[in-house]
Amino acid sequence: MDAMELLTAARSGDDLFAGEEAPEAKMEMGDATTYQGALIAALDDEVITEDEWAMLNLFRSLLGLQPEDHATIEEAIRSMADEDDNGERRLERLQQYLVAHPLE
């Protein structure tokens, strides 16, 4: 399941693991990039729901991303902010996310 499918499921309230056990976390090549894409997609959306944030947290957990991995991704998002029109608003939402959902 890709990042957009996860976000779509979160928005619609679908339970991705209904009747089955969530897969074990095992980080593979491209997982950080996929998570970064999902995080950017959520940040660029005008409506960021608690379900989306919960899905991002679950997604990060399923991928086995550690807080330092998230910090690296966050830094990449910050460094790209000046390069596109949504960058400033994306950073505002990122800060809101980090305040509301601090990483452990």
pLDDT in tens, 31-79: 788 888 888 888 887 667 888 888 888 888 888 888 888 889 889 888 8
The arithmetic mean of pLDDT across residues 9-37, rounded, is 67
Residue 60 lies in a domain: yes
Q: For residue 30, is pLDDT > 80?
A: no
Q: For residue 25, is pLDDT > 50?
A: no
Its domain, for residue 68, covers 3-10+35-100
Closest to 62 (Cα-Cα) out of 11, 20, 12: 20
Residue recorded with tokens 């330092």? 68
78: its two tokens: 């910050």
**pLDDT at residue 10, as a whole number:** 64
pTM of the model: 0.61
Residue 21 lies in a domain: no
**pLDDT at residue 42, as a whole number:** 84
Residue 62 lies in a domain: yes
Residue 80 lies in a domain: yes
